[in-house]
Structure 1
């Protein structure tokens, strides 16, 4: 592991007092660097060891600045805390202590209490517009909001995964203080706030690191976005770890979701990041660390990270709800019910199992508690990575979707909703950017070519119908609204299920373990868990159109929820109805020891 030395500097502009700021830039490929201020003031920066340049200047908060590299190019600070305008505007000196917190004693929430609502700040109208939504979400039963990435990106419309200035919150959404006020208001309502961060690549427009800091990247390993980031270098590691600490300490985010860490390819960096966070955000304050990781590395979840997005669970549910088996859903085309049962009882469906490409994927995960896995019916990826961004409300049998919602919100896994789920929204969530020129053309064509593996788009002419990511109407079409017919009823369902979760499950999730899942038929299963108080939670689920045979819960069990209204009555007759879900709480049956005794 590369060590941090006295010659290592924090990246960016750090105010020392009301008038002075220390500027540091890691530019090992530059011959000389100047700090360029307003009114054509240029201050040569002093070269230091290991490729660093530094200067302390009389620059109060609000000062506009750029870096001049070898008198050839003017660049924004790669660790800019804010931009005036877009990525090519000047960087701004920001005093991280200026905001006065209204809820400074907030310590966060325990992870097992999480009910996560993922949202896109831009689609909802900016930081202040999201703040207006918070009371409604808290009343619904949401306990945490997750913001899609905020790092400054080119233009005003982007998913956020094309960010190039990771320290600067997107200016088109509002100011850094607007973001802090959003987080502050959430805390006042008892809501935790998670940020999605991208540490696996930089966006294609506005990244100048290749000119003066080639060491950020390594050509010996490539990702879908080009040369991989080289986390073997101390300055590179610190750039991202200090960024994580900034969000948690200065902005008081309650957690981070790390995007696609399988593209980072350096578990040692991930462990160091987690270690530094745990050391500097110490109890009683809560700090959640969540992974997205196609490699299903259960080993990272044993000590270092709280949870992982369970794409396996989503994919199995999606195949059962829609019948789609194209592209990556092909890995779930065979025995999707069995794969869902494995997810509910053991965490991942792929725990070293071979994929359609002939590769073993994943690690054994059955020893991990259910709350290690974030379950969802859809998220930004699984909607937006569709050609037309359709939601399940437009794809699935409505009754099956409601039954799946019961599973989502009343299983011991951590539930995640995507904005609009609770409104039965049918508006798409499309992939959108605001690139221009050749890059816009490349993104448009690249987006359409992504769907060549889908049977519906094998014909290139069909792919021409896929919306242009750069068109403003693509962005505008992605704003969720309540369905006039189903919205109110769906919100009532979510509210009731989350109330039951809060009352009957959440207090007893610590110590919960899976007891197994039995497949009853195509799309139908019975999953059981032992909660921390010793009770058995049982969910009988049928996402299929045919009834299946099933025994009713013990007579001593409490029926927590049934969908539809007559589901329990039918189960008493030995039948699990089509499109149904029944949730019960009872006493765990004793398990025989090896010597025949019961325990």
Structure 2
């Protein structure tokens, strides 16, 4: 552990442990004897003055300058609710980069928060990874109100459906009224439009009381472009040698990186400890460049598992390059998003081979079967300007329980010109089979908010930018999609403006649809599939035999596959992904003997001894012999 992080992680008292407050090296900390200690790392600043807002005006307070660029002040009259800023070089007023809350956004004062004021329940120990059924949620669009409190009222319905984990899109504060959250600038401050820190804690505790885990999507690869003042007084946060798609990378391996690493490792521990999140999804780690012997992601994982030992805590990765080498690393990471599953399912059902879908256009149903038995399909490779890999190399078989499979997520809908969900893009008759194949495999399934009832609302990219940045985003979207883009139904039109409130409002879920007859049928289907998952897949996840799963193509649109477990237990899936029926294959045409002691796990459509009907699938549990 680096020296900065060691200095920031003292032994916690029993009272602090009970409150779950996380003591930090950075930011504003209430003091046991009263008052607040304010601390800022500003190695490039000539001076850093503390401003306390009293009576609507900023009152300056002197600070002490310490070694290595640290400024500190202890103010006895300050307390929870105190508003404050830092004045850099006597000219620019900036928020605390480790602010626990900025009620009016990152361009306005930060607020001191008492992290121990919330009354947490005792006894929550989380849930095992094998039980995870993830539900990705954007708080701002999940309900008409767009708040934690409103989302909390919907949790019971999710638990009743069989969801076991909520994954919140990033909460780090950003300017404006709405946004995805991936351009946050205050990583410790939950976005104020959704509610207060205590309201977020109340949401998480309500979820725990229903048996729901709550994960948080965190972004450690860049800061957003608006509201980030770090370059003014701590340019050491940014790499001078590495870049990524959003500009300069963060500095994790050059001068000053020890403090930068500590800032983000502390952030992970803060969310997990102080807010009792059950896990983190680490966004786009392929964009984090770190030449250190122990890179920052591995350091983070080591510190998380060292610090939190009394409950299940899960770390999930997103890596566009697949990066399967991290997954077996001593249990540091539970899983990784499997884009390959989504891409090949989409190509198999639509025939679309544009852009990065090009990698999956050759025999897509066979590739789909391989994804279900092996996990990732391709290893990392340089890509063309359109996103296709330039060198297709098969990835080795992965532990299937370390895959997160999905048909929808924020990217796959939001990065389309019109934000269509998967249902709007594929044949309607194929949706039940595709959904069941997502929910009923050893991989961990993920649903995108509203998918459980067949939501038809789009999910577009939206960001409340102003001025030049707003214009740049608008032009970028038009450049990416063309002035006239094609919708799923083949019609054309100009993509919705990303910075207009109407685009954000259009993404809010339609709860009347959720409770309509059609929505109820879809929820019932998902509930039944997840019940089958709990009975047959969850108890056996740790008994899967790595690399032993096999698939056999019956024809180019149909396959039989087997997931193999210890003691010869097997789940077999027979599937036809076509709009025409076919004659059932003879038993002796398959490369293995029929299962014995069988029972049906789940069925979509009709697969019989004589014929396989269109868009049908049958899951069977039994034993292999010989």
Partner of 1:595: none
Structure 1 position 4, deviation (Å):
3.3
Alpha-carbon distance in structure 1 between the residues aligned to 2:623 and 2:389? 43
Partner of 2:300: 273
Task: Indicate yes or no: 2:553 matched with 1:516.
Answer: no
Task: Indicate yes or no: 2:270 matched with 1:243.
Answer: no
Alpha-carbon distance in structure 2 between the residues aligned to 1:310 and 1:453? 32
> Any idea what SS the aligned residue of 1:302 has?
coil
Task: Indicate yes or no: 2:209 matched with 1:194.
Answer: no
Task: Indicate yes or no: 2:586 matched with 1:568.
Answer: no
Structure 1 position 41, deviation (Å):
2.0
Partner of 1:535: 569
Equivalent position to 1:558, from 599, 602, 607: 599
Alpha-carbon distance in structure 1 between the residues aligned to 2:390 and 2:3? 35
Equivalent position to 2:312, from 257, 263, 286: 286
Which deviations, in whole Å up to 9, do the C-alpha atoms of 1:478-504 show, x marking residues without a partner? 122226463111111001111111122
Partner of 2:188: 167
- TM alignment of 1:486-497, pairs within 5 A: 486-497=518-529
Partner of 2:31: 16
2:5–2:266 CA contact under 8 A, matched in 1: no
Alpha-carbon distance in structure 1 between the residues aligned to 2:442 and 2:126? 20
Give the TM-score, by structure 1 length.
0.92
Residue 464 and residue 212 in structure 1: after superposition, are their counterparts in 2 closer, same or farther (change >3 A)? farther
Residue 185 and residue 533 in structure 1: after superposition, are their counterparts in 2 closer, same or farther (change >3 A)? farther
Aligned residues: 578
Structure 1 position 391, deviation (Å):
1.2
Alpha-carbon distance in structure 1 between the residues aligned to 2:5 and 2:165? 37
Partner of 1:429: 459
Residue 538 and residue 227 in structure 1: after superposition, are their counterparts in 2 closer, same or farther (change >3 A)? same
Equivalent position to 1:301, from 312, 315, 327: 327
Alpha-carbon distance in structure 2 between the residues aligned to 1:18 and 1:444? 52
Which deviations, in whole Å up to 9, do the C-alpha atoms of 1:537-565 show, x marking residues without a partner? 1112222223345356546321111111x
Give the TM-score, by structure 2 length.
0.88
Structure 1 position 506, deviation (Å):
1.0
Partner of 1:26: 41
Which deviations, in whole Å up to 9, do the C-alpha atoms of 1:11-58 show, x marking residues without a partner? 111112373222111111101101100233211221212221122222
Partner of 1:597: none
Partner of 1:587: 623
Partner of 2:377: 349
Task: Indicate yes or no: 2:239 matched with 1:218.
Answer: yes
- TM alignment of 1:490-509, pairs within 5 A: 490-509=522-541
Alpha-carbon distance in structure 2 between the residues aligned to 1:559 and 1:246? 45
Residue 505 and residue 170 in structure 1: after superposition, are their counterparts in 2 closer, same or farther (change >3 A)? same
Partner of 1:577: 613
Residue 64 and residue 178 in structure 1: after superposition, are their counterparts in 2 closer, same or farther (change >3 A)? same
Alpha-carbon distance in structure 1 between the residues aligned to 2:6 and 2:184? 30
Equivalent position to 1:473, from 487, 493, 502: 502
1:399–1:580 CA contact under 8 A, matched in 2: no
2:99–2:188 CA contact under 8 A, matched in 1: yes
Partner of 1:106: 124
Alpha-carbon distance in structure 1 between the residues aligned to 2:522 and 2:412? 21
Structure 1 position 95, deviation (Å):
1.3
Which deviations, in whole Å up to 9, do the C-alpha atoms of 1:444-488 show, x marking residues without a partner? 11122222599849xxxx997011111111111112222646311
Residue 279 and residue 427 in structure 1: after superposition, are their counterparts in 2 closer, same or farther (change >3 A)? same
2:179–2:463 CA contact under 8 A, matched in 1: yes
> Any idea what SS the aligned residue of 1:466 has?
coil
Which deviations, in whole Å up to 9, do the C-alpha atoms of 1:355-414 show, x marking residues without a partner? 665645788441x42110000011111011111011122221122111011111110100
Alpha-carbon distance in structure 2 between the residues aligned to 1:224 and 1:493? 40
Alpha-carbon distance in structure 1 between the residues aligned to 2:66 and 2:118? 33
Residue 362 and residue 87 in structure 1: after superposition, are their counterparts in 2 closer, same or farther (change >3 A)? farther
Structure 1 position 519, deviation (Å):
2.6
> Any idea what SS the aligned residue of 2:281 has?
strand
Structure 1 position 174, deviation (Å):
0.3
2:136–2:449 CA contact under 8 A, matched in 1: yes
Task: Indicate yes or no: 2:408 matched with 1:372.
Answer: no
Alpha-carbon distance in structure 1 between the residues aligned to 2:377 and 2:178? 35
Equivalent position to 2:102, from 74, 83, 99: 83
Alpha-carbon distance in structure 2 between the residues aligned to 1:243 and 1:533? 43
Alpha-carbon distance in structure 2 between the residues aligned to 1:479 and 1:6? 44
Alpha-carbon distance in structure 1 between the residues aligned to 2:379 and 2:356? 17
Greater shift, 73-82 or 263-272, is seen at: 263-272
> Any idea what SS the aligned residue of 1:556 has?
strand
> Any idea what SS the aligned residue of 1:445 has?
helix
Structure 1 position 199, deviation (Å):
0.6
Alpha-carbon distance in structure 2 between the residues aligned to 1:146 and 1:34? 38
Task: Indicate yes or no: 2:339 matched with 1:311.
Answer: yes
1:352–1:363 CA contact under 8 A, matched in 2: no
Partner of 1:391: 421
Structure 2 residue ranges without an equivalent (≥5) = 9-23, 588-593
What RMSD in Å do the two structures reach over aligned CA positions? 2.2
1:535–1:585 CA contact under 8 A, matched in 2: yes
2:319–2:336 CA contact under 8 A, matched in 1: yes
Greater shift, 414-423 or 326-335, is seen at: 326-335
1:314–1:377 CA contact under 8 A, matched in 2: yes
1:19–1:61 CA contact under 8 A, matched in 2: no
Partner of 2:163: 142
2:486–2:493 CA contact under 8 A, matched in 1: no
Structure 1 position 169, deviation (Å):
0.4
Structure 1 residue ranges without an equivalent (≥5) = 591-599
Greater shift, 413-422 or 524-533, is seen at: 524-533
Greater shift, 42-51 or 520-529, is seen at: 520-529
> Any idea what SS the aligned residue of 1:427 has?
coil
Equivalent position to 2:62, from 13, 21, 44: 44
Residue 559 and residue 464 in structure 1: after superposition, are their counterparts in 2 closer, same or farther (change >3 A)? closer
2:321–2:381 CA contact under 8 A, matched in 1: no
1:518–1:527 CA contact under 8 A, matched in 2: yes
Alpha-carbon distance in structure 2 between the residues aligned to 1:82 and 1:361? 46
1:369–1:511 CA contact under 8 A, matched in 2: no
Residue 291 and residue 94 in structure 1: after superposition, are their counterparts in 2 closer, same or farther (change >3 A)? same
Partner of 2:359: 331
Alpha-carbon distance in structure 2 between the residues aligned to 1:453 and 1:509? 48
Residue 104 and residue 363 in structure 1: after superposition, are their counterparts in 2 closer, same or farther (change >3 A)? farther
